[in-house]
Structure 1
Amino acid sequence: MTHQEISHHRLVAQKLLEARPNSPQEIVHHLGAMQAQDYAMAKWAVGSRCDATEAAIEEAVNSAKIIRTHILRPTWHFVAADDIYWMLDLSAPQVKRFTASAAKKYGLDAKKLDKLNAAIEKLLAGNNYLTRDEIMMELNIKKTSSEDFLSAAIMMNAELDGLVCNGKMKGKQITYALLEERVAKPKTELAKEEALAKLAKRYFESHGPATLLDFSWWSGFSPTTCKPAINAIELQLNSVEIENQTYWFGNEYSNEVNLRESIHFLAAFDEILISYKSREASILLEHQSKAFTNNGIFKPIILENSKVIGTWKKTIKKDHVKIETQFFTETRASEKEILLEGIKAFENYLETKIVIE
């Protein structure tokens, strides 16, 4: 297997070449967790893998079929409702180390955070959806530049404790709700080893071919912790050795997969790049600084035949959406026309006219 084949099969595994229809929640469930700090782009990351419109995906979030919360690495993710509790039980203890450290800078220890949780629970009880600013106002925490980090630490702690998650959108504002009012808590829990093995299997089936270090990066667990999880499921996966690296992938992998032509305009922070420690299979080293920064900001990308060839950005206008493209190398006008055919999926998703400049 070559790097070209790896990048193509990742498209297949991530359902970017999927022919069968999938609902938004099925896409999120398949991928396990999808990075979602940029809410608008996170919705498109789902939409680019199914035929759902932006409105349909937002409805899946509003109706709690998809949950947006902090999980895995300390950032926002989309998670399917069926997965939220076992995944939170698994990952929260390690992610809370970051929030505890941040809260401690403001004089908040575990006891004070628990007290704040109790106050937040009272505020949100009865499906009362509030924005972060509204919650902080009720807690008498003033909104200043420094307190904004404090409010983020407080709410992230409440998320990781399984108390809150996203509520219904309030116009364009994101709200919080009580998790147990949105998704019923299961009667049984998974042991940590079982949950980590389940997470590993989900990752390699939906993101493979990928390495141990890729899974470690995506999950936030150390390679030492991840290795036994892979050992536990290795008979349920395929693997291949490339340049002394073992790449794991699902049993549905087939050498017969057609390496067909494809164009994709993908979201900022899309899983096709951000979910791997090493990204050389999808983007040349000399182009990486044009697609993402050292401090973890990922731009929307253009893929041609599973390779990143440029970036794009959108601007919302009164009666249309303007799209601007920037290709890494000079592109002939005839090729550009073919490439820009790939933006039609985004036009259908937005249900709005798109103008390319």
Structure 2
Amino acid sequence: MHSPALDDDRVRSLRTRGQGLGAGVRLRTAAEAVERVIGVQAQDARAGALGIRVRTTGLTAAELRRALEVDRTLVRSWLLRGTLHTVTTADLRWLLALLGPQFLRLSARRYRELGLDEALCDAAETVITDTLAAHGPSTRAELTHRLATAGLPADGQAPFHLIRRAALRGRICFGPEREGDATFVLLADWLPDAPGGPAGEAAVTALARRYLHAHGPAAPEDFAGWSGLPATAARRAWRSLDLLTVRVRDRDCALPADRAAELDAAPGPAPDVRLLPMYDNYLIAHRTSALAVPAAHEQQVRPGGGQVRAAVLADGLARGTWAWRRGRVDTALFDPADATALATGLAAESAAVADFLGAA
């Protein structure tokens, strides 16, 4: 039996529908949006917030901050690919157990380059956790000062790596913002009732299943690149899932079998315009962004050096870039002729971003 071949529009429809980014699909709450995509990249705090906003209906900055700091249904830490992500509290501990050891191993060489041996790292972790236990939420600068006072490395990149190591080991996580600065807290104090979850191979399988629900159609190599797990682990997970194989540009990809009905789903109202922030999942969750960004404009969205610019998305295809300048959305469409067709959607999205950032 031949695998069905999907055209580019159908693939984009499936991927945007899965992420709440197209076909008229939007999620109700910040937690629902984050749970859908598993984690929203949040190295840049504003981009991370906008990545949640773009998948929801009417989310305010105050509601997002409440989810992070009061209800604590969301939390930030270093997870997928070893980078900062916002995830649901329900997913944090099992993701840390799965991914933390992987990125600690990959960081060992950098620790050695910085002169951070195991004993020194352990001593720094004790200083960090003791500080948080005694003083509560503390900024990176405050933790760096404590490290220096204890005679531990406090210059250059050493404090960052020591703090990140404590987070990857499940000791700390991000806490409340204080006057625009991020703080860290003891994970066990901040989220004492956070559940566990699948472990070992079951955790890899669960993560792969969730990935495909949000980001499929995709191949094991896409999942490995997105998660930071080895390709061998990705292929094992694929074999344990109930999948529908499809052809995407002459490449075997997969969808969870329970998404098969979506292959024939009617398209939503077009054009569905979304203003994606920098480093959005939609643009980095696959080995190539060829289906999301026209080849002629790849350099405008991905100029190199790991940069991924904010993009104007319409029905899953990047049609331009945008930036927040002087209190307004400033767009640069690849084809000025698109301005008329996208005008209504752009106006609505621009107003929503202005409302969100204006109250942030």
Look up the SS of the partner of 2:156 in the other structure. helix
1:107 and 2:112 aligned = no
Q: Under a length normalisation based on structure 1, what TM-score does the superposition of the two structures give?
A: 0.90
Q: Distance in 2 between matches of 1:187 and 1:80?
A: 11
1:26 and 2:32 aligned = yes
1:249 and 2:255 aligned = yes
Q: Residue type matched to 1:88 in 2?
A: L
Q: How many residue pairs were aligned? A: 344
8 Å CA contact 2:273, 2:342 repeated in 1: no
Look up the SS of the partner of 2:17 in the other structure. helix
Q: Residue type matched to 1:172 in 2?
A: G
Q: Residue type matched to 2:119 in 1?
A: K
1:3 and 2:8 aligned = yes
8 Å CA contact 2:90, 2:196 repeated in 1: no
Q: Distance in 2 between matches of 1:277 and 1:162?
A: 29
- Provide the residue aligned with 1:269 in structure 2: 279
Structure 1 residues 50, 141: closer, same or farther in 2, change over 3 A? Answer: farther
Look up the SS of the partner of 2:180 in the other structure. coil
Alignment gaps of 5+ in structure 1: 353-357
Q: Residue type matched to 1:13 in 2?
A: G
Q: CA deviation at 1:266?
A: 1.1
Structure 1 residues 64-213: aligned runs within 5 Å:
64-125=72-133, 128-140=136-148, 147-184=155-192, 190-213=198-221
- Provide the residue aligned with 2:42 in structure 1: 36
> After TM superposition, which residue ranges in structure 1, 4 or more long, deviate above 6 angstroms?
none
- Return the structure number with greater relative CO, CA threshold 8 A, min gap 6: 2
Structure 1 residues 115, 229: closer, same or farther in 2, change over 3 A? Answer: same
8 Å CA contact 1:269, 1:297 repeated in 2: yes
Look up the SS of the partner of 2:184 in the other structure. strand
Q: 1:137-176, CA deviations, whole angstroms, 9 ceiling, x for partnerless residues? A: 011179xxx9231111111101100011101000110111
Q: Distance in 2 between matches of 1:34 and 1:194?
A: 22
8 Å CA contact 2:127, 2:146 repeated in 1: no
Structure 1 residues 55, 340: closer, same or farther in 2, change over 3 A? Answer: same
Q: CA deviation at 1:187?
A: 7.5
- Provide the residue aligned with 1:291 in structure 2: 301
Q: Distance in 2 between matches of 1:28 and 1:126?
A: 32
- Provide the residue aligned with 1:230 in structure 2: 238
Structure 1 residues 336, 260: closer, same or farther in 2, change over 3 A? Answer: closer
* Percent identity of equivalent pairs: 24
Q: Under a length normalisation based on structure 2, what TM-score does the superposition of the two structures give?
A: 0.89
Q: Residue type matched to 1:158 in 2?
A: A
Q: Which of these residues, 51, 55, 59, is aligned with residue 66 of structure 2?
A: 59
8 Å CA contact 2:21, 2:316 repeated in 1: no
Q: 1:92-147, CA deviations, whole angstroms, 9 ceiling, x for partnerless residues? A: 111112332222222111221111111111100167001101100011179xxx92
Q: Residue type matched to 1:14 in 2?
A: Q
Q: CA deviation at 1:79?
A: 1.0
Structure 1 residues 232, 141: closer, same or farther in 2, change over 3 A? Answer: farther
Q: Residue type matched to 2:77 in 1?
A: T
1:344 and 2:351 aligned = yes
- Provide the residue aligned with 1:304 in structure 2: 314
Alignment gaps of 5+ in structure 2: 1-5
8 Å CA contact 2:324, 2:330 repeated in 1: yes
Q: Residue type matched to 1:281 in 2?
A: L
Q: CA deviation at 1:178?
A: 0.7
Q: Distance in 2 between matches of 1:265 and 1:207?
A: 18
Q: Distance in 2 between matches of 1:244 and 1:334?
A: 34
8 Å CA contact 1:74, 1:98 repeated in 2: no
- Provide the residue aligned with 2:3 in structure 1: none
